[in-house]
Chains A and B, each alone.
Chain A
Amino acid sequence: MPDATGLELLAGDLRDRLPEAVRDTTHFRGKGAIEIAPGTIREVLAFVRDRGFRFLASVHGLDYYPEEPRLGVQYELLDMERLDRLTVKLRVSTEDPRVPSVVGEWPTADHQEREVYDMFGVVFEGHPDLRRILMPEDYEGFPQRRDFPIGGESILFTHDMVKGTDYTQ
């Protein structure tokens, strides 16, 4: 992890390069994170790659409901020489959930961006093949959003049984 100072130095360099990109930095439980503007993700990842973070370990989605903007995408990066990790975060709204795709520079993001699209509905612009990856292709809705109904079968467990209902008669 970059320590708090190292994280600020990195963010400062990033601000010099891309003045609009950095929105916030957080250092929580020994883990540094930079929150950026959604449109600048490709430039930011190119910048941190030059600083040693050459391995994109994971791309994942979040739903911060009821905060706005609701949806989040996180990119976990790893510097394998200095054993250093960095999180790049961005937030988009459900009305306009568009993020530039990083598949061109990071081929590993292909399936992971498809999964974030499948589960949260974040549209990655420039992705070569943005389809659902886990759910059926005719599935409606994005099941990991927190306002999505839980669904499933209603099951009457023993401890919920109330005498006189249809189930227990």
Chain B
Amino acid sequence: MAQIVKREPVGPPSDFRVKQLQARDMLRGDLEGKDLEEYVESRIITTTLDKAVSWARGNAMFPATFGLACCAIEMMSIVAARVDVARFGFEAFRASPRQADLLILSGRVSIKMAPVVRRIYDQMLEPKWAIAMGACSSSTGVFNNYALVPADKFMPVDVHVPGCPPRPEALMHGILKLRSMIHQDPSMGWRTRYGAEQTVELLPEDAERFEGESAVNVFVHGETPGA
């Protein structure tokens, strides 16, 4: 039978070494009663499942590998060493919209490109978010002419990042804004307000199944979108 040794405190109770020793005691079964309860309370957080899911979603968005114009250069540099958005978990640029959560509209969108962008957005799986990066995709910026269309006209956008182009820090700030929006309750209506939910790309034979959706994109067979 091992002798129970009562340890003398080596510092204030928040000291890391004290916690380490307490953990060792608990694993050996030496902590009991009030000490054990205090130990457990200081280490367990209770939350709702929704909050936990929002937390996980907000902290690991995968942006789609999708660059439109000069802003794309700044977008690339957020994953490089100086800004390094990997610190927050957004560094995994996915090559397929099916694997991506976040569409960054990095540049000007022409009216010929808009159906393509919309299709990529519809191909992404819920939950999904979009950031309009730079002046062009928000308001057409200096290219305010016959050829361009602002992003709000053809797809729901969650965050607009101003700038021409925005610095990488600004884009990262926009992503972090979006993260905090996701961490708060996404079902509070800020997405339904502009019809951002339930937009999917469907085959014509499935069109009846999704009768009630808000913005459904249906293509007829043999029809090329955007042509």
Report yes or no: B112 in contact with A151, Cβ–Cβ below 8 A.
no
Q: Which of A137, A139, A152, A155 sits near B145, CB closer than 8 Å?
A: A152
User: B225 to nearest A CB, angstroms?
Assistant: 11
Contact (Cβ within 8 A) B139 A153: yes
Please, which residues of chain B bring their CB within 8 A of the CB of A66? none
Picked from B112, B139, B150, B227, the residue with its CB within 8 Å of the CB of A135 is B112
Main secondary structure of the interface of B (DSSP, over half): loop
- Number of residue pairs spanning A and B whose beta carbons lie under 8 angstroms apart: 31
Chain A residues, Cβ within 8 Å of B148 = 152
B115's nearest neighbour on chain A, judged by CB, is A136
Tell me the bound Cα distance from A139 to B150 in angstroms: 17
Closest B residue, CB atoms, query A132: B112
* Residue from the list B140, B146, B227 in contact with A137, Cβ < 8 A: B227
B226 CB within 8 Å of chain A: yes
- Other-chain residue from B144, B226, B227 in contact with A152 (beta carbon distance below 8 A): B144
Q: Which A115-169 residues have a C-beta within 8 angstroms of B? A: 134-137, 139, 143, 148-153, 155
Nearest-neighbour CB distance to chain B for A66, whole angstroms, equals 21
* Contact present for B140 and A153 (CB under 8 Å): yes
B145, B150, B226: the one within 8 Å of A136 (CB) = B226
Closest to A155 in B: B139
Measured in the bound complex, the distance between the Cα atoms of B12 and A106 in whole Å is 87
Docked pose: A123 CA to B86 CA in angstroms: 53
Measured between C-beta atoms, what is the minimum distance from B181 to chain A in Å?
A: 25
Distance in angstroms between the alpha carbons of A139 and B140 in the assembled complex: 19
Is B69 an interface position by the 8 A CB rule?
A: no
A152 pairs with B146, CB closer than 8 A: yes
Residues of A within 8 A of B150 (CB): 153
Contact with A along B140-168 (1 / 0, CB 8 A): 10001111101000000000000000000
B73 at interface by CB-CB < 8 Å: no
Q: Tell me whether B83 is interfacial, beta carbon within 8 Å.
A: no
In the assembly, what is the distance between CA of A148 and CA of B147, in Å? Answer: 12
Q: Using CB atoms and an 8 Å cutoff, list the residues of chain A in contact with chain B.
A: 134-137, 139, 143, 148-153, 155
Q: A-contacting residues of B (Cβ < 8 Å)?
A: 111-112, 139-140, 144-148, 150, 226-227
